[in-house]
Amino acid sequence: MAGKNGDAFSPAAEEGPSGIINKILPKMITQATAKDWFDRRRAHIRPWSNFVDQRRFSRPGNFGDLCKRVTRNVEHFQSNYIFIFMGLIMYCIITSPMLLIALAVFFGACYIIYLKTLQSKIVLFGRELSMANQYGIAGAVSFPFFWLAGAGAAVFWVLGATLVVIGSHASFHEVEGDVEELQMEPV
């Protein structure tokens, strides 16, 4: 939608509900963008039966074979690995009630900031706060809750578990459609 003078970035272009959202959350991920990304990932998932087929697992012959397997499997099963990572995050959040409370406090603070900015600009000590400052305050308010919930330990647990699961799978799963490459011996 263009403004009065045809400029897409004029103030008149930001009128309406989508303009308000674009003005308030200029660089944040929109719901449509997240849904598109999620749908693309879901469309590229390899069949889980191939992913966990025990007949396709074996010990790599040497370090070169290990590196080739990891590289190709990460490319081939990228969407599957992302869903495993997201599943581990969900497991960690669901099994930690205090972490759920900390997330609720953080998102509640962000929502309150959003509602306040719809009414008027937020001013603190005579200075208008930028969106980054406002969300920084939301993070500062919720930080004690994250600290009490052990969010740091949860993050490192998720990263460690992800590296172990994905690293093991990528290392031991034979490469899909692997054709023996012609190896030349030196003369």
> What would the pLDDT profile of 120-175 be if each residue is shown by its tens digit?
777 778 788 888 888 888 888 889 888 988 888 999 999 999 999 999 999 998 88
**Cα distances (Å, whole numbers) of residue 144 to 93, 102, 108, 131, 162:** 17, 8, 15, 21, 26
41 inside domain: yes
Calpha distance 130→136 (Å, rounded): 10
26 inside domain: no
Is the pLDDT confidence value at 95 over 80? yes
12 inside domain: no
* Residue 132, both tokens: 């980054």
Q: Are 155 and 163 in contact (CB under 8 A)?
A: no
Residue labelled with tokens 């087929």: 53
Which of 16-20, 25-29, 115-119 has the weakest average pLDDT? 16-20
Closest by CA to 173, choosing from 45, 41, 81, is 81
120 inside domain: yes
Count up the domains in the chain and report the number: 1
7 inside domain: no
What confidence score (pLDDT) does residue 56 get? 87
Q: Which uninterrupted H or E stretch holds 167?
A: helix 151-172
Q: Which uninterrupted H or E stretch holds 185?
A: none
155 inside domain: yes
Mean pLDDT of the chain: 79
- Domain around 100: 31-172
Q: What are the tens digits of pLDDT across the range 118-131? A: 887 777 787 888 88
pTM, 2 dp: 0.65
Calpha distance 167→172 (Å, rounded): 9
What confidence score (pLDDT) does residue 110 get? 86
55 inside domain: yes
70 inside domain: yes
